[in-house]
């Protein structure tokens, strides 16, 4: 679901807020197994697309100043993921060493878009 609201002013300023909510993409879960839990790990897959990533939520704000001329456009500043919600991009695995030899797997989370301010200029043609 995506919802947006834009407020326009007479001085060519626009303030836009966009909220995005998603139920989370499906993925195939995996885990590592080993008979001795130290060496010879092998990857085991779960049901195909049988798991889901957590819900995704992002709230963005943009303040822009419209300009005219031959190539109309706008200067803008924006704040992506204003609430700094932790959205999961994917899971990956990292093997940690065990004292005395061997290793064990730990699942790592790669996240999308921390709170991210930006500025720029766009041209429309």
- What pLDDT, on a 0 to 100 scale, did the predictor assign at position 93? 96
Share of the chain above pLDDT 90, in %: 88
- 61-81 mean pLDDT: 92
Q: Residue 41 belongs to what domain range?
A: 2-123
- Look at the alpha carbons of 46, 51, 54, 59 in this order and tell me if their dihedral is positive or negative: positive
* Residue indicated by tokens 């300009």: 67
- What pLDDT, on a 0 to 100 scale, did the predictor assign at position 119? 98
Cβ–Cβ < 8 Å for 57, 20: yes
In what helix (H) or strand (E) does residue 61 lie, and over which residues does it extend?
Answer: strand 56-67
* Residue 15: band (very low, low, confident or very high) from pLDDT cuts 50, 70, 90: very high
Domain count, the chain: 1
């Amino acid at each position: 679901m995506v919802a947006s609201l834009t407020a326009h002013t007479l001085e060519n300023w626009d303030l836009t807020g966009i909220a995005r909510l998603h139920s989370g993409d499906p993925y195939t879960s995996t885990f590592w197994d080993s008979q001795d839990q130290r060496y010879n790990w092998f990857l085991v897959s779960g049901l195909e697309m049988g798991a889901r990533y957590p819900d995704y939520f992002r709230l963005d704000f943009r303040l822009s100043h419209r300009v005219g001329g031959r190539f109309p456009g706008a200067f803008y500043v924006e704040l992506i993921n204003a609430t700094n919600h932790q959205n999961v991009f994917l899971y990956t695995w990292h093997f940690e060493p065990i004292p005395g030899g061997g290793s064990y797997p730990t699942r790592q989370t790669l996240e999308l878009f921390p709170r991210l301010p930006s500025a720029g200029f766009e041209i429309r043609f």
